[in-house]
Amino acid sequence: MTSIDRRLQEALDGERDPATLPAELREAYARLVGAAQLLSHTPPASVAERVMAEVRRLPAPASAALAFEDGVARRVARWFAQPRAVTLRLRPAWTLAIAAALAAVVFLPLAESVAPGAEEGVAQFVGHFPGARSVEVVGSFNDWRRGALPLSDEHHDGIWHGAVVLPAGQHEYMFVVDGERWVADPLAGRYVDDGFGRENALLIVRPAVGP
């Protein structure tokens, strides 16, 4: 794929008057604008009746104070209440509510599994990948090796999770879904350019507090 002239990109971004483009770029500009116009046809169908029928069956929207309901959000809350490590990747607007839940996660008794040492902490990873066959975490903490940190979805509900002890500090990572799709964790909240045209999620592991 050939890179197109910066002036053309600027004109398409509204940062340059297209009239100032040379002739060959004006033609390309018109072609792309024309293509976009062709795509602007609005489908005739409406879903209004269908949606309103459903809305009339439902109670009024719950209050803004982190009202969880059935569905993925409730399952996330259950994950935090149970003795397992889970972070949930949720793409809808619940992301903000879930991020707040993450911030308010309860202390759970640290029982039979590995305890972090000094200058170590626990990192939880969770992703919502319905239909995925495998999800793993690859990052700077495992030398970017595949196969070192698989997540599990034991309830087969598309929620993949895992937790590890890591040195306190900053770590970059990505999820790899089905062995081939690299995804920056949408719930990470922190991202950094990877220098290869993508973004890595950035994790800051806090030192664990003693029991």
- 63 to 82, contacts with another protein by CB under 8 A? 63-64, 67, 69
With CB under 8 A as the contact rule, the residue among 17, 23, 58, 156 that binds another protein is 58
Q: State the nearest-atom distance from the C-beta of 48 to another protein, in Å.
A: 5
Q: Does 165 bind another protein (CB under 8 A)?
A: yes
Phi/psi of residue 117, each to 5°?
-90, -170
The residue type found at 58 is L
Q: Does 51 bind another protein (CB under 8 A)?
A: yes
C-alpha distances (whole Å) from 35 to each of 16, 28, 93, 104, 152 are 20, 10, 31, 48, 44
Q: State the nearest-atom distance from the C-beta of 1 to another protein, in Å.
A: 5
Q: Does 46 bind another protein (CB under 8 A)?
A: yes
* Residue 158 near residue 79, CB atoms below 8 Å: no
Closest CA to 166 of 114, 116, 99: 116
Number of residues this chain uses to bind another protein (CB under 8 A) = 114
Strand partners, 137: 175
Q: State the nearest-atom distance from the C-beta of 149 to another protein, in Å.
A: 7
Phi/psi of residue 98, each to 5°?
-70, -40
Question: Going by C-beta distance under 8 Å and a sequence separation of 6 or more, which residues neighbour residue 114?
Answer: 165
Q: State the nearest-atom distance from the C-beta of 135 to another protein, in Å.
A: 12
Q: Which of residues 89-148 bind another protein (CB under 8 A)?
A: 91-97, 99-100, 103, 105, 107-116, 119, 121-124, 129-132, 138, 140-146, 148
With CB under 8 A as the contact rule, the residue among 21, 135, 159, 163 that binds another protein is 163
